[in-house]
Amino acid sequence: MPILVMKFGGTSVADLERIKNAAQKVKREVERGYDVIVIVSAMSGKTNELVGWVEETSHLYDAREYDAVVSSGENVTAGLMSLTLQNMDVPARSWQGWQVPLKTSSAHSAARIEEIPRDNIDAKFAEGMKVAVVAGFQGITDEGRIATLGRGGSDTTAVAFAAAFDAERCDIYTDVDGVYTTDPRISTKAKKLDKIAFEEMLELASLGAKVLQTRSVELAMRFNVRLRVLSSFEETDENSGTLVCAEEEIMESNVVSGVAYQRDEAKMTLVSVADRPGIAAAIFGPLAEAGVNVDMIVQNISEDGRTDMTFSCPTNQVARAEQAMTKAKEDGEINFHGLVADTEVAKISVVGIGMRSHAGVAAKMFQALSSEGINIKVITTSEIKVSVLIERKYMELAVQALHDAFELENAG
């Protein structure tokens, strides 16, 4: 029997009605001939309630107890989903992480999946079970304690099961109906993509398209698991949603697949830094220690042994960055004349694997922005993306202009 993995997030199982709706989608796949592994999140709101209790109890809490408490939300959904399926005459049973067992590292609250032995679930499939409903986000350590996987854990659980069971596909049901060329709230011309390559999805995810957690896409890419993102709240069929897959599976890649943005960026410039070997480490070491997530980095050409160093980070980390730099200066580790923070910028990126074989994407991007009178403050490029920082007030305009320039209304 071919195996399909289906994952339902918190809003998709928020109450009994929605669990029933999700179960109907599962039943349809069983009728199509699949053995199904369903990964469920906690009913929305439940995890927050549990986390709230733990945090109110203790500030510096034991992560093992945190995990024991928080994992219970998924267990409840798994049982209820299994009962709902049984009610529809679909042979189903629930599995908590330790019952599978999904083995993890002992990094509680942020554990890595180490192994998913197939034996137990395969044996039940052989006995006639059609659906294994697995509580997502959790596993068991070598010490026999429950560990949760941290942010994005349920998506990651789903992909890991798909890899372990050689699933035909891993369907991620969520509250959007796929991956779009850009945010439909910003451009009404935004188009749902039928397919997107793993690499593109990674760039889009880390750039703020919050459909899939980066971690699960990385895992899918590594094990070549075909991921599909689709809506739990609409009628869906074999062609719904967006397929995230290997580049080879996409016949004719778009040069550009999407336009992403990050609203709350800040641009910081260290003016006239003494340019010497090791200066980058002397700057970005202390920033990393201070917990500043540095994104873009640009170094100007050196003049008279001094240079300007510009980087971007989230606006709410500016104070922290300033503190770290001032301290590094006082300690004599770096030397600069001034520190200029511009907190009114946004980042815009165009992403597409087709770029590799098409020159001129960056030029076309700069031209489109220039036509709208938008000034570019910082540029960085990678193999499949070009990112720029611009004044925040032009952000929406820039996204729309770029969406038009690359004719993304014809994508899909």
Interacting residue ranges for a second copy, rule: CB under 8 A:
16, 19, 50, 53-54, 56-58, 61-62, 64-66, 68-69, 72-73, 75-76, 78-80, 82-84, 86-87, 93-94, 96, 98-99, 144-146
φ/ψ of residue 386, rounded to 5: -125, 130
CB of 79 to a second copy, least distance (A): 4
CB of 70 to a second copy, least distance (A): 8
Q: Considering beta carbons, is residue 54 or 362 the nearer one to a second copy?
A: 54
CB of 298 to a second copy, least distance (A): 46
Q: At what angle do helices 361-371 and 395-405 cross, to 10 degrees?
A: 130
The answer to whether the CB of 314 falls within 8 A of the CB of 220 is: no
Q: Considering beta carbons, is residue 86 or 302 the nearer one to a second copy?
A: 86
Whether the bond between 277 and the residue before it is cis, its omega within 30 degrees of 0, is: no
Neighbours of 61 (CB within 10 A): 13
Q: Does 47 count as an annotated binding residue?
A: yes
CB of 84 to a second copy, least distance (A): 6
Q: Does 185 count as an annotated binding residue?
A: yes
Kindly report the three-state secondary structure assignment for every residue of 378-405: EEEEECCEEEEEEEHHHHHHHHHHHHHH
Q: Considering beta carbons, is residue 49 or 407 the nearer one to a second copy?
A: 49
Measured in whole angstroms, the distance separating CA 162 from the mean position of its chain's CA atoms is 18
Q: Considering beta carbons, is residue 63 or 325 the nearer one to a second copy?
A: 63
Cα–Cα distance between 324 and 315 in angstroms, integer?
15
Whether the bond between 101 and the residue before it is cis, its omega within 30 degrees of 0, is: yes
Q: Does 211 count as an annotated binding residue?
A: yes
CB of 274 to a second copy, least distance (A): 49
Q: Does 10 count as an annotated binding residue?
A: yes
Return the CA Rg of the chain.
24
Q: Considering beta carbons, is residue 130 or 215 the nearer one to a second copy?
A: 130
Give the residue ranges of the annotated binding site for ATP: 7-10, 174-175, 180, 185, 210-211
Give the residue ranges of the annotated binding site for substrate: 47, 74
